[in-house]
Amino acid sequence: MIKFGTDGWRAIISDEFTFANVGKVARAIALYLINHKLNKKPLIIGYDPRFLADKFAEEVSKVMEDAGINVYLTERDTPTPVVAWEVKDKKAAGAVMLTASHNPAEYCGIKFIPDYAGPADESTTSEIQENSNKDLVLPMAAKKGKVERFEPRQRYMKYIESFVDTALIRKAKLKVAYDSMHGAGRGYLDKILQNFGCRVEAIHSQRDVLFGGKNAEPSDENLGELKTMVPELSADVGLANDGDADRFGVVDEKGVFMNANQILSLVFEYLVSEKKYTGSVVRSVATTHLIDRVAARHKIKVHETPVGFKHIAKIMMQEDVIIGGEESGGFSIKGHIPEKDGILADLLIVEMLAKRKMPLSEIWEELIKTTGEVYTKRINLKLEEKEKQEFMKRLRDETPQELAQAKVVKVNKMDGVKMILSDGSWVLARPSGTEPLVRIYAESDKEQKLAVILEAVQNLV
């Protein structure tokens, strides 16, 4: 059965992710466009560097062509945020992106991006999922659609300049190490930085369908080479993107990995303090409360959403939002599309360094001097499906009143079970929808306290 997750349908290539099944999903998307009277507008189709992703994209194009829908198909593997932006740029009906994002190389995926250029909501994905599992016969088109190849890079690169101070970056002449992780970001972020006068040293800049034998996820454990490279080159910063460049990774000048919670807080504070952005801020339930501390200092409203950028995007489309972010590396900004963009996140870090003329580690130290220290961690509890369900039910029905020798003062059951402790620490237990595990997120002002909280939650099992 084809089942969509939080960001499209993903499966193992040649197991479930076959040309036949991709055709089923493509026909379901075509029917969605026809039923919602969007089929007179063109559809954008893009893909990441995965094995056969380009061929799967061509298969989707053929289905759309037969359905009478015009298609713009990218010339090469392209970042998801660029494909999403092209929906707005070309006033398209939407986009289909062949990507499994940061999943292992044996996976591929397909996601539909509606005409607002953000993640599809649940009603849209439910409709497409339901029809993907039927033997659809599409209505006969009056005439075939046209498939046109195009290269969006130059237009996106010109557009993204409107969000950063290019003159400031050029003047700073920063040295940047970049790891595209063999992903779609290569030839995008590195080229943009070079255009802005940065000295760029890039690694893993060739397409590799196996992503060098690693998950194309810009995490601490996967960026060892970049962490070594930055201090060796005396670079100002190390930047990375995942396989489809919708997520970011950052390494400071000492070669220390900075997690997404830190980067989101830094960029948010920079946009408010230096660039005078106004509006609210949106974060997921699993994302750092350091954002809340920064917001409180500037009297900014905070929205908390379930995990998944589609929830963040919904609020970004409803009101004036400075940034939307999630701890897994999702980020977007006021005035941009309501979709994750790892390229823009990295560029704003470079601008911040140029503006503040300080090492990244010192900028971080300055922030926590004013907001207080914060430590965050995520662990996975491996539980069989029955154990997982029983654990979560017990946690929901019999939530502890005390944890790690601190009183539980608030319980949030928006997405999983989140317990706020009397000392400001918090912990969230959230079941995976696709794997036999429960993800545990925790935050505290002391590293030792964080370890005690995580151990206490594990003992609840």
Burial per residue of 339-375, b for 16 or more beta-carbon CB atoms within 10 angstroms, e otherwise:
bbbbbbbbbbbbbbbbbeeeebeebbeebeeebeebb
Q: How far apart are CA 240 and CA 185, in angstroms?
A: 9
Mean pLDDT of 348-356: 98
Residues 6+ apart with CB under 8 A from 226: 177, 179, 203, 238, 240, 249, 251
Q: Which of 119-128, 134-143, 247-256 has the lowest mean pLDDT?
A: 134-143
- Which residues are within 8 A (CB) of 36 and not within 5 positions of it... i.e. 6 or more apart? none
pLDDT tens track for 293-306: 999 999 999 999 99
Q: What is the pLDDT of residue 434?
A: 66
Which residues form the catalytic set?
A: 101
pLDDT of res. 270: 98
The amino acid at residue 290 is: L
pLDDT of 271 > 70? The answer is yes
pTM over the 0.85 mark: yes
Secondary structure E strands in 182-274: 199-203, 237-241, 248-251, 257-258
Measured distance CA(257)–CA(239) in Å, rounded: 10
Over residues 401-433, the pLDDT tens digits come to: 999 999 999 999 999 999 999 999 999 999 987
CB atoms within 10 A of CB 301: 11
- pLDDT tens digit string along 9-44? 999 999 999 999 999 999 999 999 999 999 999 999
- Per residue in 324-346, pLDDT (tens digit) is 999 999 999 999 999 999 999 99
Span 345-354, average pLDDT: 98
Comparing CA positions, the residue from 130, 144, 147, 142 lying closest to residue 28 is 130
The token pair that represents 453 in the structure block: 């909280």
pLDDT tier, 232 (very low <50, low <70, confident <90, very high otherwise): very high
Domains along the sequence of the chain with CATH:
9-151 (3.40.120.10), 157-371 (3.40.120.10), 375-460 (3.30.310.50)
**Which pLDDT band, with edges at 50, 70 and 90, does 461 fall under?**
confident
- Tally Cβ neighbours within 10 Å of residue 287: 28
Tokens 């349908």 belong to 9
pLDDT of 7 reads 82
Q: How confident is the model at residue 436 (pLDDT cuts 50, 70, 90)?
A: confident
- pLDDT tens digits for range 158-217: 999 999 999 999 999 999 999 999 999 999 999 999 999 999 999 999 999 999 998 899
Q: Which residues pair with 304 in a beta bridge?
A: 283
Cβ atoms < 10 Å from Cβ of 382: 10
Q: Which residues contact 140 (CB under 8 A, 6 or more apart)?
A: none
- What pLDDT is recorded for position 10? 95
- Over the chain, what is the mean pLDDT? 96
